[in-house]
Structure 1
Amino acid sequence: MKAFHCNRCGQRVFFENVLCERCEALLGYVPELREISAFEAADEGQWRSLHPDAEGKLYQQCHNYAVENVCNWMLPADDTETLCRSCRLTHTIPNLAEPNNRLYWYRLETAKRRLLYTLDALGLAIQSRHVDPDNGLAFDFLENVDPAAPIMTGHDNGRITLNVAEADDAHREKVRTDMCEPYRTLLGHFRHESGHYYFQKLIAGTHWLKPFRERFGDEQADYGEALDAYYRDGAPADWDARCISAYATMHPWEDWAETWAHYLLIVDVLDTSTAYGLALLPPAPNEPRLTDQTPVEEASFDNLMKRWYPLTDVLNSLNRSLGMPDGYPFTLAPPVVDKLRFVHRVIAQASART
Structure 2
Amino acid sequence: MSSQPRCPHCRHFIYLDTLTCPNCEADLGFHIISRRFYGIRAGQTVIDGQTWHACSNRGWSCNWLVRDDAPAGRCFSCRLTRRRPEPDDTVAMEKLAKTEESKRRLVLQLADLGLPIVPWDVAPGGLGFDLISSLSHGERVTIGHANGIITLDLAESLDDRREALRVKLGEPYRTMLGHLRHEVGHYYQNVLLTDDEAWARCRELFGDERASYKDALSRHYSTGAPADWHTSFISEYATMHAWEDFAETFAHYLHITGTLETAAAIGIHLDASATNLRDIDVIPLESYEDEPVQRLLTDWEWMSQAFNRINRSMGFGDLYPFVIVPAVRTKLGFIHDVITRAPLTGEEQEALALPQTLERT
- Per the normalisation by structure 1, the TM-score is 0.91
Q: Equivalents in 2 of 1:206, 1:37: separation in Å?
A: 46
Q: Equivalents in 1 of 2:290, 2:339: separation in Å?
A: 12
Farther off after superposition, 16-25 or 255-264 = 16-25
Farther off after superposition, 111-120 or 75-84 = 75-84
Q: Look up the match of 1:117.
A: 108
Farther off after superposition, 1-10 or 250-259 = 1-10
Q: Look up the match of 1:169.
A: 159
Contact persistence 2:260–2:286 (CA under 8 A): no
Q: Look up the match of 1:16.
A: 17
Q: Equivalents in 2 of 1:16, 1:211: separation in Å?
A: 39
Q: Look up the match of 2:71.
A: 80
Taking a change above 3 Å as real, the CA distance of residues 93 and 126 of structure 1, as seen in their structure-2 partners, is: same
Contact persistence 1:278–1:290 (CA under 8 A): no
Taking every aligned residue pair, what percent have the same amino acid on both sides?
Answer: 38
Q: Look up the match of 1:320.
A: 312
Q: What is the deviation of 1:21?
A: 1.6
Matched, 1:334 2:342: no
Matched, 1:290 2:282: yes
| Consecutive unaligned residues in structure 2, runs of 5 or more | 350-361
Q: Look up the match of 1:246.
A: 236
Match of 2:170 among 176, 180, 190: 180
Taking a change above 3 Å as real, the CA distance of residues 292 and 265 of structure 1, as seen in their structure-2 partners, is: closer
Q: Equivalents in 1 of 2:173, 2:277: separation in Å?
A: 31
Q: What is the deviation of 1:284?
A: 5.2
**Which residue identity lines up with residue 33 of structure 1 in the other structure?**
S
Q: Look up the match of 2:94.
A: 103
Aligned residues: 343
Q: What is the deviation of 1:124?
A: 0.3
Q: Equivalents in 1 of 2:206, 2:118: separation in Å?
A: 26
**Which residue identity lines up with residue 24 of structure 1 in the other structure?**
E
Q: Equivalents in 2 of 1:201, 1:80: separation in Å?
A: 26
Q: Look up the match of 1:38.
A: 39
Contact persistence 2:51–2:67 (CA under 8 A): yes
Contact persistence 2:92–2:136 (CA under 8 A): no
Q: Look up the match of 2:54.
A: 61
Please, what is the CA RMSD of the aligned residues?
Answer: 2.1
Q: What is the deviation of 1:173?
A: 0.5
Q: Equivalents in 2 of 1:19, 1:159: separation in Å?
A: 32
Q: What is the deviation of 1:95?
A: 3.6
Q: Look up the match of 1:51.
A: none
**Which residue identity lines up with residue 202 of structure 1 in the other structure?**
L
Q: Deviations over 1:228-274 (max 9, x none)?
A: 00000000011111000000000000000000000000000000010
| Consecutive unaligned residues in structure 1, runs of 5 or more | 49-53
Q: Equivalents in 2 of 1:292, 1:186: separation in Å?
A: 25
Contact persistence 2:261–2:285 (CA under 8 A): no
- Per the normalisation by structure 2, the TM-score is 0.89
